[in-house]
Amino acid sequence: MTQRLITHLRHVDLAVPDFSRQVEFFAGMWGLSEVAADSGVAFLAAPGSPEQYAVRVRRADDKRLDLIAFGAARPADVDTLAERLGRDGVRLIGEPAPLATPGGGYGFRFFDVDGRTVEISADVSPRAHRRIEPRESVPVRLSHVVVNSPDPQATAAFYTRHLGFALSDRLSHPHRGDLMWFLRCNTWHHSLAVSRGPHVALHHASFELRGLDEFMRGCGRMMRAGVEKVWGPGRHTAGDNTFSYFRDPHGNVVEYTTELEELDEDRWHPHVYDSSDPAISDQWGTANPMSELVARQTFNDPDRGVFVAPPL
């Protein structure tokens, strides 16, 4: 496996036609804090995280995933990753350079095997953040991002081969084969997962809450406000984390979660879980059953940003 130089997940960036409505959802309902804004772009932070922002929202004619951003420990590691990717024939969008986004830093962008934009950066200034109090149902951090791919095995292999991600677990079905690959870049069970889907798209972005009580309070706030619930609340087996999926104003799926498993990497061996067993999807049995309708909602719309770099 390639030496791991990526340390963690930083943020997920979305482009949407109804900019004001999307920002209002994340800042007003979901519990993020708007920390910076310009004409047609907003940066929203998880209140408990030192990351400058967890979500960037950009006004655009078409809905798309702009990029997924990961951190590295040092600028030298950024340079090493850029050189390694270029040498391996990965298409770089630009060479490493200072970043103009909140917190600055040093980074570069490239297209992964599916054509989604990925950013890697180091030396981003930490943001002043705060402790999340008991019963406060706002995100502590961006937990993980899951993407759809029509060739998920190749996508998972790209991240393990080129970026040093490790496989934590897989979901498989007796008749449909492998369905999801859970990949880690640190001791969290997964920061990225790849799901089998009909087209390249965002599957969901997940936000960690303080604990079970805060998780349930956040879910209840969404449900009382009439936000469409896709699936949950329940508890997965892979990752052992709670889940409740909702749809944002543009049909992207966003998740509240908590208690994602931390692994002893020296002792961990990946499992292959049978997704046809309802207890694998939901240990508690409290969520609505996984169905074709739920799956279709997580397929999302085909991503219009494939092999098209975002303008900023």
Instruction: Give me the CATH code for the 141-299 domain, please.
Output: 3.10.180.10
Residue 197 has a CB neighbour count (10 Å cut-off) of 22
Q: Each residue of 216-249: pLDDT tens digit?
A: 999 999 999 999 999 999 999 999 999 999 999 9
pLDDT confidence band for 1 (50 / 70 / 90): low
pLDDT at 193 over 80: yes
Fold of 6-122: 2,3-Dihydroxybiphenyl 1,2-Dioxygenase; domain 1 (3.10.180)
Residues 65, 308: Cα–Cα separation, whole Å: 10
Q: Each residue of 70-100: pLDDT tens digit?
A: 999 999 999 999 999 999 999 999 999 999 9
On whether the pTM is more than 0.85, the answer is: yes
User: Which pLDDT belongs to residue 206?
Assistant: 98
| CA 80 remoteness from chain centre | 24
User: Which pLDDT belongs to residue 3?
Assistant: 82
Q: How many residues are there in the chain?
A: 312
Q: Provide CB contacts within 8 A for 193, sequence distance 6+.
A: 144, 145, 146, 147, 180, 181, 182, 183, 203
Output the furthest CA–CA distance in the chain (Å, rounded): 52
| CA 5 remoteness from chain centre | 18
Strand segments (E) across the chain: 6-16, 33-38, 41-45, 55-59, 64-72, 97-98, 106-111, 117-122, 141-149, 166-173, 177-184, 192-196, 201-208, 229-235, 242-247, 253-257, 271-274
Mean pLDDT computed over every residue of the chain = 97
Q: Each residue of 101-160: pLDDT tens digit?
A: 999 999 999 999 999 999 999 999 999 999 999 999 999 999 999 999 999 999 999 999
pLDDT at 13 over 70: yes
Mean pLDDT, to the nearest integer, of 34-44? Answer: 95
Residues 191, 262: Cα–Cα separation, whole Å: 11
Q: Each residue of 267-295: pLDDT tens digit?
A: 999 999 999 999 999 999 999 999 889 99
Alpha helices for the chain (secondary structure H): 19-24, 75-87, 152-163, 212-224, 278-281, 292-299
Residue 290 has a CB neighbour count (10 Å cut-off) of 17
Residues 287, 262: Cα–Cα separation, whole Å: 23
Phi-psi region of 262 (alpha: psi -120 to 50; beta: other; left: phi over 0): beta
User: Which pLDDT belongs to residue 159?
Assistant: 98
Please report where in the chains the tokens 């069970």 appear, as a residue: 189
- Domain edges within the chain: 6-122, 141-299
Q: Report the candidate in 65, 52, 54, 33 with the shortest Cα–Cα distance to residue 105.
A: 52
Mean pLDDT, to the nearest integer, of 6-35? Answer: 98
Tell me: cis bond preceding 134? Omega within 30 of 0 counts: no
